[in-house]
A and B are shown apart, each in its own frame.
Chain A
Amino acid sequence: MLTFVVRRLLLAVPVLLGVVFVVMLTIDLLPGDAVTLMLGEHATKDAVAALRAHLGLDKPFLVRYVDYVGRVARGDLGRSIQQNRPVAAELADAWPATLELTAAALLLAAAAGIGAGVLSAVRPNSAFDGVARVASLFGLSMPIFWTGLVLIVVFSLWLNWLPVGGAGSPAHLVLPAVTLALPSVAMIARMTRSAVLDVLREDYVRTARAKGVGEWWVLLKHALRNAFIPIITLLGLQSGQLMGGAVLTETVFAWPGLGRLMVKAIFARDYVLLQGAVLVFALAFVVVNLLVDLSYGVLDPRVARQG
C-alpha cells in the first residue's frame, strides 16, 4: 500500500516536469512580452532592456527552464513578474478559495448526481427519469458564465436572497458552487443511471432478490457498491473539470481564487506566476487521481490484493 503511494507520487515528478515545460514553452511561443506589457505604451527601449535583464528574461529558453526547475526543487517558486511578490504567497492567498469552491461543487454534484441517477435507474423510463434526462442535457449544454449570470439575476437582483459576488460567508458560496456543479451533476447522473442499470441486470442481483433481500438493501449493498467504481472514476475526472470551470465561475462571481490569478497571469504574460498556478493545479489533479485509485481498493478488495 505504502509502496504503491510512494511509487505513484514519484511518477508525478516527470508529469510535473512535463507540465512546466509545456507551459513555459507555450508562453515563450505566444506573441507578446511580459516586460513591454508591464511598462506599457510609454516605456523607453533602455527601460525595457534593463527590466528584461533584471528578470532574467534575456536568457535562452532552456536555461530559464533549468533555472526554474532547480529553484522549484529547492522549494522556491520565484517572484511574480508583475507584482514582485513571492509566488508562494500569491498562491497561498488564492488556493484556499478555489479549494473551497471546487470541494463544495464536487460534494453538491456527487450528492445530486448520484441521487438523481439512482432514482432514474430504479424507475427507468418513468416521468422522473424523463425529466432528469432532459434536465441533465440542459445542464451539460449551458455555458457556465451564462448559467452564472442567470442565477445572479434571479437570486440576487429579483429575489435579493444571495449576494452578487465576492467571498466571505457561506451565502457567498451558494451561487458559484451551484453554477460550477451543474454540468457535473448532469454527467454524474447519467453515468450513475447507466452503471446502476447495468448492475441491476447482473446475476448476483437476481440471486439476492431471489433470497428475499429487500429492494433498498439490494440497491445500496449490491448494486450501488459495484456501480461505484465507474462513478468514482468519473468524480476524479470531474474534479479536474471543476478546477478548469473554476476559472470562469471565479470571474463571473468575483471569487478570489486560483482561476482568476491564472487569467491575470496569462494576460500579463507573467510566466513565473502562471507556472506556479499550473503546478498547483497539476499537483491537485495528481493527488485526486491517486485518491481515486486508492478508493478502488476500499470499494473492491480484489483490486487491493492485486495492488
Chain B
Amino acid sequence: MRTLGSRLLAGVLVLALAVALVPSAGAQKRGGTLTIVRPTDPVSLDPNLETTAPGAWVYFNMLEGLLTLDDKMQVKPLLATSYEVMSPTRVRFKLRPGVKFHDGTPFNAAAVKFTFDRALHGTPPARWASLAGSLSGAEVVDDLTVDVLTKEPYGPILRTLAMYCMGIVSPTAVQKQGADFSRAPVGTGPFKFVEWKTNTHVIVERNNDYWGDKALLDRVVFRVVPEEGARMIALQTGDADMVLFPSPAQLPALRKDSKYTVHETTGIRVVFAGMHAGLPPLDDVHVRQAMLYAVDRKAILDNIMEGSAGPARGVLAPGVFGYKDMQLDRLYPFDRAKARALLGQAGWMPGPDGIMQKGGQRLSLSWLAARGRYPKDGEITEAIQAMLKDVGIEARVQVLEWAAVFQQVRSNPLSHHLFTLGWVTSNADADYSLYALFHSKQVPPTGWNTSRYANPRVDALVEQARRSLNQTEREKLYGEVQDILAKEMVWIPVYTTKEIVVTRASVKGFQVHPVEYNLALWKTWVEK
C-alpha cells in the first residue's frame, strides 16, 4: 500500500513537473533578430577551408552532418536515421528522406559521397581532413543509403562523423558557385545564408523549408567587434544580444545582474604545463611527480581563473568519450614537503641559493610559453614558476608570440623542459588525445607527443582501442591508459576550459554546448 502510495505520489510529481514545463515551452515565440558580437571574422564559411571557431559558429547553423553531438555529448542522428556496422572498415547509414538543400537540390547518398570526395581527395585536401583520422570516403548503395569507409578499422568513426565540420554540402551549389561557395555555403540546416560583409557581419535567416523543427529566430547577425571592452559595452547598450568570448573579469558582476544571463558549461579543452620526459632531469619520474605536488592547482583556479575555468581532473575533459577521472587531487595533493622528499629520493639536495642541486648541477628548467593563446596562460605559467621555486626548482620562462611557440613545439628535437599548451579533443573521442599525445610514434612533427612519452603498454592499448569498434571495450582500454598516465605524469594539468556565453536576459532557449564550435541557435528566441 505504501509503495503504491509513493508510486502514485511520484506519478503526480512527474505530472506536476510536466504541467510546469508546458507554459515555458508554449511561451517560445517565433521571430526576432539575434545580434551576436564576437572577436573575429570567419576565414571562410566552408568547412573545407575553415575549422576554427569564427567560421564554425556560423556554418554550424547552416550545414548538417550525418550525425551530431547533443549537449550531453551523446551521438545523435541528424541527416542519417540509423547505422549498421557492416565490417570493421565499413559503416552503412540510412539517410533521412525528403530533405532538401537550401537551393532546392535533394539531399541523398550522392551528396554525401560528393562532400567526402571533395574534402578528402581535392587539392589541397580540406582543412578537416587531418581531423578525420582514417576516414577515406563514401560509397552510394542506393539513393538513401550510403556506406562510409575507413582505411583501417577505426573506433572513433561515429564521433568523427558527428563533428561540427562534417556538414554535407549541396553538390549543385558547389559546382555552380566555384570558389565563391566558401563565402556563401549551401547546406540543409535550420538557417540559410543571406550576406557576408567582410570584417563587419555575417547574416543568416530561418530556413522555412527545414525538414525538422523550424528555427524560432527570423535572423541572426554575427557582428565583428575585436576589442573586448567594446564587445561588453555593446551588450550593455543593447547593440548586441549575445557576446562570445566575454571578458572574464566582468563575469562575477554579470552573474549577479538580472539584465543578463551567463550561460556556461564545462568545455573539452585541457590547459596544461607539459613536461619533456625525454630531457634530463625530467626523465626521472620522481622529479615529475614532485612538480605535481609542488603546484597548488586549486589556488590557481580560485585566484587566477576566478571561476572562468573548471579543475583539470586528468589529461581529458569530462565530456570526452573514454574519459576517466585520474583522481589527481587524491594522488597529488598540494604538499611541498612531499615534493622536496621526492626530489631528495632522486638525489637532489638544496644548494646555497635555495635551488636544488645534484652533482654540482642546479635544478633549472627552461620553459616555453605564449601569452594570450589560452585564457590566462601567461599568468598560470608565472604562478607555477613561483610555486616551483618554493620547492627549489628554478624555471626560466621564455614568453614568445603564439606563432613562434607553435613552431618550436612542432619541431624535433625540442630543447625546452616545459611548455604551456592547451589541447582540445576535437572529435570528443579519447583516441584523438591519447593516441596523438602519448603514443611513442607520435613525436612531432608526426603527432603531438611533445612530452616524448614512451611506454610500450600505452602504445599497445591506444592502438587496440583505435582498431576496435566495440565502444564498451574501448572505454575500458582508455581507462587503463589513464591509470598508467596518472602514475607517470608527464603533464601538470591546470584547468579545463569553460564555454561561456553571455546574453541579455531577453534571449531565451539558448543552451551553451561543451564544444565551443557547436553554437546551436535554432531553439533560441528573443523576448520582446
Q: Which residues of A contact B (CB under 8 A)?
A: 30-33, 36-45, 47-48, 50-51, 54, 82-85, 90, 93-94, 145, 148-149, 152-153, 156-157, 160, 163-168, 251-254, 256-257, 260-261, 264, 267, 269
Please report whether the interface of chain B is mostly helix, strand, loop or mixed according to DSSP.
Answer: mixed
11 CB < 8 A contacts A-B: A41-B448, A42-B426, A48-B445, A83-B182, A84-B182, A85-B179, A94-B198, A152-B230, A152-B233, A157-B233, A261-B199
User: Does B446 lie within 8 Å of A31, measured CB to CB?
Assistant: no
Q: Is the CB of A253 within 8 A of B230?
A: yes
* Beta-carbon nearest neighbor of B201 in chain A: A166
Q: Given the complex of chains A and B, what is the CA–CA distance between A164 and B233 in angstroms?
A: 7
Measured between beta carbons, the chain A residues less than 8 angstroms from B366 are none
**Nearest Cβ on chain A to B175's Cβ, whole angstroms:** 17
Known: A39-B127, A40-B52, A166-B200. A149 touches B404 (CB 8 A): no
Looking at chain B, what size class is its interface with the partner chain? 35 or more
Residues of B within 8 A of A (CB): 40-41, 43-44, 49, 51-52, 123-125, 127, 129-131, 179, 182-183, 197-201, 223-227, 229-230, 233-234, 236-237, 239, 400-404, 406-408, 410, 423-424, 426, 436, 445-446, 448
Please give the distance in Å from A91's CB to the nearest CB on chain B. Answer: 11
Contact of B223 among A33, A149, A254 (CB under 8 A): A254
Please give me the 7 A-B residue pairs with the lowest Cβ-Cβ distance, nearest first: A32-B403, A256-B199, A31-B404, A254-B225, A256-B200, A164-B234, A93-B198
**Which A residue's beta carbon lies closest to that of B422?**
A41
On whether A164 and B230 interact (CB within 8 A), knowing A41-B423, A264-B40, the answer reads: yes
A54 touches B182 (CB 8 A): no
Q: Which residue of B lies closest to A34 (CB)?
A: B403
State which of A33, A43, A94, A157 has its C-beta within 8 Å of the C-beta of B199.
A94
Contacts of A264 in B (CB 8 A): 40-41
A41 proximity list for chain B (CB < 8 A): 423-424, 448
Given contacts A83-B182, A85-B182, 14 further A-B pairs with CB under 8 A are A32-B402, A36-B410, A40-B127, A42-B131, A45-B446, A83-B44, A93-B198, A149-B227, A157-B233, A164-B233, A168-B200, A252-B227, A256-B200, A260-B199
Residue in B closest to A92 when the chains form the complex, CB atoms:
B198
Cross-chain contact of B124 among A54, A165, A167 (Cβ < 8 A): A54
- Number of residue pairs spanning A and B whose beta carbons lie under 8 angstroms apart: 129
Alpha-carbon distance A45/B199, docked complex (angstroms) = 32
Query: B129 is contacted by which of A47, A84, A167, A254 (Cβ under 8 Å)?
Result: A47
CB pair A36–B406 under 8 Å, yes or no, is yes
For A39, list chain B residues within 8 Å (CB): 127, 130
A254 touches B227 (CB 8 A): yes
For B230, the chain A residues whose CB sits under 8 A away are: 149, 152, 164-165, 252-254
Nearest chain A CB to B227 CB, angstrom units:
5
Given contacts A41-B448, A83-B44, A256-B197, contact A50 B52 (CB under 8 A): no
CA of A175 to CA of B298, assembled, Å:
44
* Interfacial chain A residues near B223, Cβ < 8 Å: 166, 254
Residue of A at shortest CB range from B40?
Answer: A264
